[in-house]
Amino acid sequence: MRKILNVETDILIIGHGAAGLFSGAVLSSFGKQVMIVGEGATSTSLSTGNIIFQRDFDGNVEKRKDREITISEALMPYVFREHLDTEFINAEIRAMTAFLLPRLNNCGLVLNGSINRNQVLLTNTGFPYSCTFAQMFASKGDLTNLSEKDIALLGLLGYKDFDPDLAALLISKIMNMKNVSAYWTQISEFRRRYGMHPTEVAHLTHNDGFQEQLANAIKDIDCDAIGIPPIFSLLDYQLRMTELEKRTGREIFEVVTPLSLPGLRFHEALRLAARKEGCRLSEGLKASSLRIIGRRAESAILKGKFMDTEVKFGCLMICTGGLLGGGLIANGNKIADSFDIFQVEKMPNFTYSNTKYGVHSLIQMIANYGLKADSSMHLYLKTGERLENVLGAGSVLEGCSFPAGLGLGGALLTAWISTKNALEVLDQ
Ligand SMILES: Cc1cc2nc3c(=O)[nH]c(=O)nc-3n(C[C@H](O)[C@H](O)[C@H](O)COP(=O)(O)OP(=O)(O)OC[C@H]3O[C@@H](n4cnc5c(N)ncnc54)[C@H](O)[C@@H]3O)c2cc1C
């Protein structure tokens, strides 16, 4: 028989993606005991880290007659319901970012973009000379700072994430810069590997000799400024980039790629921030079942390698991610939550989504399902009862699933609103 360890905490958060970690950091900052458990890769770390906040939209479609509305505009009314007035959302976004940004900065993450626009906080540390092909317009101002110099873009064979030929072509066409050339190099650790994921590449950069081979390839290029793909994880970034500049005597900058490390770095920074605020973070533990008595959840069983843990809590937060994250599962043609106890809602059909680009049907298929939550993010049992001390946040919620849902911005915002209500639950 397996041993069971007993643990108590004010708040148990299940799920260690953006929603879970951010909720944990906020709640810990209020002096609450927080335990976060998570198992498996998070969508947050796989993501492009492009955070979109939908400001200045109150759900009034009439006001948007002049243009097609965006996915996030279409989804906001479903996620925030009666909270959806412009002032409320704008104030919450301001308060949330005032909490989040300094903490991320303290953990080494620099965010490009402005929170005064609806988007873009591109979570890339490669500023100020970032360039990108998919997101070219977000950062082309930075590249033009280099217009007087000869710029080289260096690709690593085997790592498809960045294609310098394509990037150089796009930069010269779109930005009319003729001083950009493309180079490739072969790093021995990458040999015989194709289609490596950024996380795998970040891991390989720890191998002895990697930095030396890269430095040698850079030294062979006769250019002032050299752009390399994002290959270092957040924790190594400053050190490795400085080391490369010292070794090569060149100005090295990092390009931003569509499917690259920004999400991983964002995830790392959130983990650090949650830990710094005092959260207990247990990765590799899966919450397998919940004990619910009446309309309250009392405890959860966490499955570990060698023993199980029963965690008793005052409040529970479900931040287990969408279909990709593992918080929702497909069972035949039915979508359920992974504990099979919560009410999963299918959103009503959109009457005003962006049909021109097929967004309507995409939302229908993917973001349609999620846990039913009220405007204070309290969850419901399958039997219809509203749970007193169980709240949800992130892509597990209706309207927040990837790829058509509210994404990272929605994960952070729902987490922010959930944490306020979790504090109220604990104070009752
Ligand atoms: C390739 C890709 C690119 C994307 N790009 C963007 C982008 O640029 N911008 C954007 O806004 N959004 C993007 N998204 C979507 C965005 O990543 C997600 O909406 C967001 O990260 C969801 O965060 P989350 O915290 O809700 O879930 P997740 O980050 O998925 O975290 C949930 C975690 O909980 C774990 N878990 C589930 N059940 C249990 C359990 N019982 N016990 C313990 N742990 C459990 C899961 O395994 C998972 O690791 C992208 C997603 C992907 C996959």
Judgement on whether residues 278 and 331 belong to the same structural domain of the protein: yes
The answer to whether the CB of 10 falls within 8 A of the CB of 32 is: yes
**Residue 350 neighbours by CB under 8 Å, 6+ apart:** 74, 360, 363, 364
Residue 332 shares a structural domain with residue 214 = no
- CATH classification at residue 159: 3.40.50
* Same domain, yes or no: 188 and 163: yes
Answer whether 366 contacts ligand 1 (Cβ < 6 A). Answer: no
Mean pLDDT in residue range 256-283: 86
Model confidence at 378: pLDDT above 70? yes
pTM of the model: 0.82
CATH number of the domain bearing residue 333? 3.50.50.60
What are the residue ranges of helices labelled H in 286-402? 359-362
Whether residue 221 sits in one domain with residue 176: yes
Rounded to the nearest angstrom, the distance between the alpha carbon of 32 and the centre of ligand 1 is 25
Q: Do 226 and 284 belong together in one domain?
A: no
Residue of minimum CA distance from atom 15 in ligand 1: 407
221, 255, 289 - which closes a domain: 255
Instruction: Please report, for residues 12, 311, 388, the alpha-carbon distance to residue 9 in angstroms, rounded to integers and kept in the order given.
Output: 7, 7, 17
Q: Which residue has the higher pLDDT, 239 or 257?
A: 239
Question: What average pLDDT does range 352-372 have in this prediction?
Answer: 58
CA distance 413 to 89: 9
pLDDT score for 116? 55
> Domain check: are 40 and 145 in the same one?
no
Model confidence pLDDT, tens digit, residues 65-111: 555 555 556 566 566 665 556 677 777 888 888 898 889 878 877 66
State how far the Cα of 50 lies from the Cα of 59, in Å rounded to an integer.
23
Examine residue 166 and state whether it is found in any structural domain, yes or no.
Answer: yes
Q: How far apart are CA 390 and CA 378, in angstroms?
A: 6
Model pLDDT for residues 290-337, shown as the tens digit of each residue: 999 999 999 999 998 888 999 999 999 999 998 878 898 887 778 889
Length, in residues, of the chain: 428
Same domain, 368 and 273: yes
Task: Name the domain boundary from 212, 236, 255.
Answer: 255
Whether 212 is covered by a domain: the verdict is yes
Q: Would you say residue 260 lies in a domain? A: no
Range of the domain at 147: 125-255
The answer to whether residues 248 and 146 belong to one domain is: yes
Same-domain status, 298 and 423: yes
Query: Does a structural domain hold residue 412?
Result: yes
The number of the ligand 1 atom at minimal distance from the alpha carbon of 51 is 11
Nearest CA to ligand 1 atom 49: 42
Return the pLDDT at 182: 93
- Per-residue confidence (pLDDT) for residue 134, from 0 to 100: 37
Domain tally for the chain? 2
